[in-house]
């Protein structure tokens, strides 16, 4: 019954429109055109009213873009299409909005960082250089970062790997569930809290600040990240491989060492490198535990050290032009370090991806 009714009413409803299939619609490039119009109008308004802030120009353009899309589409097409168009344009605006800070940040760092960056900058410490005069460099901070991050990796990579192996290969029951949950929660520990924890140990056992204390805090931050990424990778290893090995009579621990880990090694390496990239930029624990130093100290177990992020913070606090230049240059070094680690890590992931991955 109802079918018949529907079929009866439909043709008259669509009949007034010319040609049943060719509804009036905007061309495909309409979205881009609206965008261009919005930006042009936004800039025009900004110029005419003499608005100083480029942020306002951008916001006005974005709002105009969305409005134009809505009005044009609801006139030419219909309300539903107009809503769809608005959603599309909003999503585009969101995306561009997110790109602005990233581009600005990278651009500023490169532009202002390249001013003070030189061979001297990389190979000298701040020994004898006061904050207000130009000169000096990051050599001591580079050494500090490399040593602290290295020690943190040596501590947390094996622990994280073993924990992940436990969770994937052995873990059943309450313990495994608890570990999984707390690993997840631990990824969210603020770095300053990790620093404070090591600080309480330092106060209780009357230890001196040193690079090693900093690495302990860093390894607390690094471990859960390594566990999570390794876990994901081990889960990707097909069960057939394990079964085949076990069926040949290989003990489980050898299966894990010789079959499971080698299969997932690419992903595991990637995970560890991403974790390194993440802790290399941590400032707060270093500030509490390593104290910072202007001199070259190659011994991470004795005496204050510096580190790249801490160096940036120090230079920012001095607040002179020369120190800002140094700060930006160090930021450029740090960002390059982190980005290169990231790129290489993801390269390895792609190159060594397990065959099951798409």
Partner 1 sequence: MASITTNTPPPPAAPAPALRRKSTGRAGDKVFLGLSRGSGILLLVLMASIAIFLSVRAGMAISKDEGNFLTTFDWDPAAQKPVFGIAVLLFGTVVSSIIAMVIAVPIAVGIALFISHYAPRKLAAPLAYVVDLLAAVPSIIYGIWGALVLVPYLEGLNSWLDEYLGWTYVFEKTEVGVARSLFTVGILLAIMILPIVTSVSREVFLQVPRMNEEAALALGATRWEVIRMSVLPFGRSGIISASMLGLGRALGETMAVATVLSPSYLISLHLLNPGGGTFAQNIAAKFDEANQLGRDALIASGLVLFVLTLLVNGAARLIIARRKEYSGANA
Site for partner 1, residues 164 to 203, rule: CB under 8 A = 165-167, 169-171, 175-176, 178-179, 181-194, 196-197, 199-201, 203
- Exactly one of 32, 63, 76, 91 binds partner 1 (CB under 8 A); that residue is 91
**Residue 131 CB, nearest distance to partner 1 (Å)?**
15
Q: Which stretch binds partner 1 (CB under 8 A): 4-12, 17-25, 130-138, 153-161?
A: 153-161
Residue (44 or 81) nearer to partner 1, CB: 81
User: Strand, helix or coil at 201?
Assistant: helix
**Residue 260 CB, nearest distance to partner 1 (Å)?**
12
Instruction: Compute the distance between CA of residue 139 and CA of residue 122 in angstroms, rounded to an integer.
Output: 5
User: Strand, helix or coil at 291?
Assistant: strand
Contacts (CB under 8 A) with partner 1, residues 105-124: 105, 108-109
Contacts (CB under 8 A) with partner 1, residues 15-74: 51-56
- Which residues make beta-bridge pairs with 305? 291
Residues with Cβ within 8 Å of 64's Cβ and at least 6 positions away in sequence, in order, are: 37, 38, 41, 42
Contacts (CB under 8 A) with partner 1, residues 290-319: 309, 312-313, 316
Reduced to 3 DSSP states, what percent helix, strand and coil does the chain have, rounded to the nearest 5? 75, 0, 25
Instruction: Compute the distance between CA of residue 125 and CA of residue 141 in angstroms, rounded to an integer.
Output: 8
271 binds partner 1 (CB under 8 A): yes
- Exactly one of 4, 13, 15, 204 binds partner 1 (CB under 8 A); that residue is 204
**Residue 43 CB, nearest distance to partner 1 (Å)?**
15
- Exactly one of 93, 138, 143, 157 binds partner 1 (CB under 8 A); that residue is 93
User: Strand, helix or coil at 260?
Assistant: helix
Instruction: Compute the distance between CA of residue 143 and CA of residue 300 in angstroms, rounded to an integer.
Output: 9
The two tokens of residue 14 are: 């669509």
Residue (86 or 299) nearer to partner 1, CB: 86
Contacts (CB under 8 A) with partner 1, residues 6-25: none
Interface map 225-254 toward partner 1 (x if CB under 8 A): x-xxx--x---------------xxxxxxx
């Amino acid at each position: 019954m109802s079918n018949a009714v529907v079929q009866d009413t439909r043709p008259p409803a669509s009949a007034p429109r010319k040609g049943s299939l060719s509804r009036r619609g905007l061309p495909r490039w309409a979205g881009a055109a609206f965008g261009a119009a919005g930006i042009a109008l936004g800039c025009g308004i900004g110029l005419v009213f003499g608005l100083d802030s480029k942020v306002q120009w951008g916001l006005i353009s974005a709002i105009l873009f969305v409005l134009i899309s809505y009005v044009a589409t609801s006139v030419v097409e219909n309300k539903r299409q107009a809503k769809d168009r608005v959603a599309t344009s909003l999503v585009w605006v969101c995306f561009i909005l997110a790109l602005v800070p990233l581009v600005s940040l990278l651009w500023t760092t490169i532009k202002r960082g390249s001013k003070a960056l030189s061979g001297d900058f990389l190979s000298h410490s701040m020994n004898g250089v006061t904050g207000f005069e130009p000169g000096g460099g990051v050599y001591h901070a580079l050494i500090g970062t490399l040593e602290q991050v290295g020690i943190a990796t040596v501590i947390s990579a094996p622990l994280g790997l073993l924990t992940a192996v436990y969770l994937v290969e052995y873990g059943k029951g309450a313990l495994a569930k608890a570990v999984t949950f707390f690993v997840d929660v631990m990824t969210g520990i603020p770095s300053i809290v990790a620093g404070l924890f090591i600080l309480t140990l330092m106060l209780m056992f009357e230890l001196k600040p040193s690079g090693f204390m900093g690495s302990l805090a860093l390894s607390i931050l690094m471990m859960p990240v390594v566990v999570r990424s390794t876990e994901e990778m081990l889960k990707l290893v097909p069960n057939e491989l394990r079964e085949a090995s076990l069926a040949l009579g290989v003990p489980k621990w050898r299966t894990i060492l010789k079959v499971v880990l080698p299969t997932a090694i690419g992903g595991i390496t990637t995970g560890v490198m991403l974790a390194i990239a993440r802790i290399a930029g941590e400032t707060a624990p270093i500030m509490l535990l390593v104290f910072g130093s202007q001199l070259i100290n190659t011994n991470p177990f004795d005496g204050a050290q510096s580190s790249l992020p801490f160096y940036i913070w120090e230079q920012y606090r001095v607040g002179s032009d020369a120190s800002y230049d140094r700060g930006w240059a160090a930021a450029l070094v740090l960002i390059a370090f982190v980005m290169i680690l990231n790129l290489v890590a993801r390269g390895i992931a792609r190159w060594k991806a397990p065959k099951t991955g798409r």
